C-alpha cells in the first residue's frame, strides 16, 4: 500500500484561561494561552482504493441554476472537480474520467465518452482532461447505459475501485426515450440495479453526489446504500461546501506526534475524545452524556464549526459486518446530535472503517474495548 507523509501542526496549550472537563473526558475546550507546546504531526496517508472513475454528468438538467448560487450545476461540477484534483495526493491510483450524456440516442450509440481513459493517475494530465469537458449542458441522462459499459472497464482493473457519480435523481430510458425515470427504482435495468450487479461481480463502490430535490433525498440515499456497504451518498451542498466531504473514499490519515515548545497566542477550539462502545452495540454510553451535551451546545453556538467523526470496531465478527457496525456507530452520533441539539448532518463528515486501524491489540478484552470507538475533531469553515 503506497504511503506518503506530510507535516501538520496542532497546538495544545500548557497554560490556559479556561478548561472544561466533561464526562469520561469526552470533550475538552481550551481557550487562549501564552506558553504552548507544538505537536509536529507526521501524517501517514494510506490508500483505501486502487482505482477511481468519475462519471461526469453533462445532461440537460445540469444546465439548471443550483439554488441561490447564481451558477449552473455543470459549472459548479467542473470547478469543484478541478479543486479536488488539485489537492488529491498522488498515491499511485489508476483513474478515468468519462461523460455519459451523448447528444443523440440510438441503440448503437456508445454512452461513455473518455476524456481521461483508464490509466495511471497524473495530476497535470487529469487537470487538462477536466478543462476539455463540455461546458454546455445538453443531451440525455443515459446513466444506466454508462454503468453497463463500466463492466468492460472494471474487468481490466485490480484492487478496489471507487466510482464517483453526479446525479439529480433521474435518468433517461434508452429504449422508450422517456426522460425523468427515477434513479431509486431498483429493477435490474435501472442504474441502481446495474450498480448492484457490478458490485457483486467486482470490488467496486459508488459515491453518489446527489443534486435531487429534498423530497427525493432519502429515497436516493436508501437506494444507493442498498448497492453495497461501501457505497455512499453526499448532497450537492456537501460537495460544494464541505472540504472533507469525500475524505475516506480514496485515502485515510494516520497521525504520529513529536512535541516542541513555542511562544504563540492562539485559540485551539475543541477536540473530541474517543467514544467507546460496548460489544456489538451502537448506543452512546451514559458516561458520555455531559461530553455530548457540551459538544452539541458548542456546535449550536458556533455555526462555522464542522465535526469530522470516524467509526471503528474490534476484530470480532466478519469484516463486512464490522464495516456496517462502524457505520451504525457513526450514525448513532449523528442522530444523537440531530435529535437533541438540531445539528444538521450536513455539518458532520462521516467515515467508517470497520476493524481497520486498531489502536490496541485485538487479542485481549482490554484492547478490543479500546478499538470499539468513535474518533473525531472539530474544524472551521470560512
The DSSP code sequence of 318-378 is: -HHHHHHHHHHHHHHHHHHHHHHH---GGGEEEEE-TT-S-SS-TTSHHHHHHHSEEEEEE
- Mean model confidence pLDDT for the chain: 80
Cell of 190: 435501472
pLDDT tens-digit map of 49-75: 999 999 998 888 888 888 888 899 889
pLDDT score of 24: 42
Report, as ranges of residue numbers, the positions in the chain whose pLDDT lies below 50.
1-27, 30, 175-176, 178, 265, 267
CA-derived radius of gyration, the chain: 22
Dist CA 128 CA 125 (whole Å): 5
**Pairing label, strands 275-276, 373-380:** antiparallel
Strand partners, 253: 45
Q: Which helix (H) or strand (E) holds 198?
A: helix 191-201
pLDDT score of 33: 54
pLDDT score of 37: 65
pLDDT score of 169: 65
pLDDT tens-digit map of 149-179: 999 999 999 999 999 988 776 677 654 454 5
Q: What φ, ψ does residue 331 adopt, rounded to 5°?
A: -60, -35
pLDDT tens-digit map of 188-212: 777 888 899 999 999 999 988 877 6
Where are the strands (E) in the chain, listed by range? 3-13, 18-19, 27-31, 35-47, 51-56, 94-99, 113-120, 161-167, 170-171, 181-182, 204-210, 232-235, 251-263, 269-272, 275-276, 305-311, 348-352, 373-380
pTM of the predicted structure, to 2 decimals: 0.56
Domains assigned to the chain: 3-46+251-380 (3.30.1330.60), 49-241 (3.40.50.410)
**Which residue is associated with the grid cell 425515470?**
181
Query: What strand order describes the sheet that includes 3-13?
Result: 3-13, 35-47, 251-263
pLDDT score of 12: 29
Amino acid at each position: 500500500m503506497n504511503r506518503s507523509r506530510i507535516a501538520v501542526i496542532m497546538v495544545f496549550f500548557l497554560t490556559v484561561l479556561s478548561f472544561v472537563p466533561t464526562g469520561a473526558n469526552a470533550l475538552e475546550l481550551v481557550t487562549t494561552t501564552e506558553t504552548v507546546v507544538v505537536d509536529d504531526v507526521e501524517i501517514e496517508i494510506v490508500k483505501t482504493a486502487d482505482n477511481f472513475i468519475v462519471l461526469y454528468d453533462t445532461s440537460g438538467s445540469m444546465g439548471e441554476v443550483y439554488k441561490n448560487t447564481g451558477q449552473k450545476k455543470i459549472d459548479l461540477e467542473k470547478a469543484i472537480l478541478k479543486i479536488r484534483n488539485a489537492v488529491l495526493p498522488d498515491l499511485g491510483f489508476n483513474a478515468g474520467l468519462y461523460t455519459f450524456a451523448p447528444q443523440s440516442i440510438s441503440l448503437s450509440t456508445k454512452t461513455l465518452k473518455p476524456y481521461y481513459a483508464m490509466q495511471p493517475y497524473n495530476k497535470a494530465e487529469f487537470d487538462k482532461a477536466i478543462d476539455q469537458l463540455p461546458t454546455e449542458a445538453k443531451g440525455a441522462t443515459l446513466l444506466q447505459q454508462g454503468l453497463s459499459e463500466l463492466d468492460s472497464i472494471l474487468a481490466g482493473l485490480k484492487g478496489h475501485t471507487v466510482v464517483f457519480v453526479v446525479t439529480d435523481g433521474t435518468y433517461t430510458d434508452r429504449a422508450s426515450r422517456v426522460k425523468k425515470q427515477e434513479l431509486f427504482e431498483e429493477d435490474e435495468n435501472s442504474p441502481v440495479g446495474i450498480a448492484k450487479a457490478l458490485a457483486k461481480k467486482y470490488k467496486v463502490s459508488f459515491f453518489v453526489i446527489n443534486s435531487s430535490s429534498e423530497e427525493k433525498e432519502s429515497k436516493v440515499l436508501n437506494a444507493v446504500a442498498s448497492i453495497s456497504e461501501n457505497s455512499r451518498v453526499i448532497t450537492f451542498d456537501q460537495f460544494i461546501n464541505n472540504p472533507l466531504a469525500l475524505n475516506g473514499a480514496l485515502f485515510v490519515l494516520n497521525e504520529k506526534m513529536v512535541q516542541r515548545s513555542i511562544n504563540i497566542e492562539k485559540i485551539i477550539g475543541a477536540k473530541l475524545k474517543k467514544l467507546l462502545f460496548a460489544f456489538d452495540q451502537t448506543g452512546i454510553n451514559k458516561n458520555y452524556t455531559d461530553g455530548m451535551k457540551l459538544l452539541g451546545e458548542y456546535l449550536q453556538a458556533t455555526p462555522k464549526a464542522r465535526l469530522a467523526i470516524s467509526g471503528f470496531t474490534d476484530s470480532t465478527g466478519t469484516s463486512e459486518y464490522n464495516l456496517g457496525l462502524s457505520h451504525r456507530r457513526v450514525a448513532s452520533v449523528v442522530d444523537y446530535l440531530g435529535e437533541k441539539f438540531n445539528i444538521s448532518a450536513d455539518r458532520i463528515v462521516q467515515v467508517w472503517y470497520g476493524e481497520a486501524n486498531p489502536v490496541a491489540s485485538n487479542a485481549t478484552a482490554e484492547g478490543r474495548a479500546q478499538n470499539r470507538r468513535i474518533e473525531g475533531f472539530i474544524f472551521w469553515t470560512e
